[in-house]
Amino acid sequence: MNRDTILVMDFGGQYNQLIVRRIRDLSVYSEMLPFDASIEEIKKKNPKGIIFTGGPAVVTDKDAPLPDPKVFELGVPILGICYGCQLMGHMLGGSVEASDIREYGSARVAFRLEDPLFWGLDPEGLCWMSHTYQISKTPPGFRVVASTPSCEKAAISNNEKKLYGVQFHPEVVHTPQGDDILRNFLNICQACADWRMEDFAAEAVAGLKQKLEGKKALCALSGGVDSSVAAVLLNRAIGKDLICVFVDNGLLRLNEAKEVEELFKKKYDMNFVKVDASDRFLQKLAGVTDPEKKRKAIGEEFIRVFEEESKKIGQVDYLVQGTIYPDVIESGSKNAAVIKSHHNVGGLPQAVDFKEIIEPLRSLFKDEVRRLGVALGMPDRMVYRQPFPGPGLAVRCLGEVTEEKLEILRKADFIFREEIAKAGLDRDIWQYFAVIPNLLSVGVMGDERTYAHAIALRAVASTDAMTADWAEIPHSVLKTVSNRIVNEVPNVNRVVYDITSKPPATIEWE
């Protein structure tokens, strides 16, 4: 289906895919290309508009990432954000210099409302800044249309050529009028708001059917939201030619293996294979304490199990994974830093015995995956399951992973999830789980000294897992959870609650 498209050109900022997501949330299709995409590649997409993202580079450096200058000759509206704003100023005859005062965080901004980029906004508001450099001299044909106390040229525009730059980040929630600014840019582009998740589902099914018809594919099914949606999508496309392999790696939550098997065998009647590989995974993790080594060991062992199952089934050329975009970003894309290697991305071994890895959700955020699940008719209890990391409880069991610690963690985690559901908070909190830190502490139980494990509780509010705030759970609920854990879970004498946001922390502890 041909639809209006906004291209986002990636210059390596950590949250660049959020721009794509915001545009899609405004019902306009958007996709990302690398900053050095050729003019021919860009023209093939026939974009209605282009957005330059932020990035960590300094635009005046000799090796700074810059687009082909011909991009400004395409005649389509362009919006530069942060670094993208600076490169626009630099390439079109202005100047960029280090700021006297660096801006990181929320800043007051004044808009010139006669500019079409800011039509309908409040004249003053807040914006999110994160920059060391800024435009010092406006390019010819541009005028300043927004300012902050520390950044005179917080936004520039050339309405004749429909070129716009903002030093702040309209894509983050900390810029309250950010969606309005992006919507105004889409109006400038005259982009049709015809992007729907139902369309994505139909096109994905059609594309997968064409690519895989008559061929077998093996789906790495964890039972989590992402792999479950991927499995249903592939099942819709190729039916019984999809073999779902569910690996019980010994790192699952309480009763999880049984629940997953019942759901996919009974409701969806899929080709479902369960593999009990608990012992081999725990052996691989014996003595391993570094979280990156844990993830890579788990990722490689998953692949080896899938390769073995593939040989038992017969010729299977394709491996299906539920990889989503935050996994890709945090594992380190072409221009972004590695935060942590996800077992299904940065944790993959270099040699994989499959013709190709199929990742139908790779461009989607978690909330978009859930909307896709709804569009596919999946039940709420599956679509809104708690996010669960691919490496499982291994990254919630700090230090060496042992069966004793896993057993404690499973029980504590179950109690926490059960009480959150009883309190009616299970659909309000993005993610909540227990962690067993690698420490013991002194306590007193029954008038006797104890020296036992601590349990940390983690709950966050988020929309996309890229940023998150700690969830303000009522004290009465936390008190009930704490009392139950120390009374019902052996060898635990302390419960703490994590009140750190992302950033600076990540959602998971490892």
Pick the closest to residue 171 from 367, 5, 19, 16 (CA basis): 19
Pick the closest to residue 242 from 258, 227, 224 (CA basis): 227
How far is 455 from 393, CA to CA, in rounded Å?
A: 13
Catalytic position from the list 169, 342, 343, 453: 169
> Where are any strands of DSSP class E within 54-115?
78-81, 95-111
Q: How many C-beta atoms lie closer than 10 Å to residue 164's C-beta?
A: 29
How far is 415 from 434, CA to CA, in rounded Å?
A: 9
Half-sphere exposure (CA, 13 Å, Cβ side) for 260? 25
274 to each of 63, 222, 240, 255, 264, how far by Cα in Å? 51, 10, 16, 14, 11
Residues 6+ apart with CB under 8 A from 262: none
Pick the closest to residue 192 from 30, 345, 9, 411 (CA basis): 30
State the DSSP string of 24-61.
Answer: HHTT-EEEEEETT--HHHHHHH--SEEEE---SS-TTS
Q: Could you identify the residue written with the tokens 């992007």?
A: 195
Q: Is 73 in the active site?
A: no
Q: Is 171 in the active site?
A: yes
Q: Is 169 in the active site?
A: yes
Catalytic position from the list 82, 85, 151, 244: 82
Catalytic position from the list 171, 301, 359, 419: 171
Residues 6+ apart with CB under 8 A from 447: none
Q: Which residues are catalytic?
A: 82, 169, 171
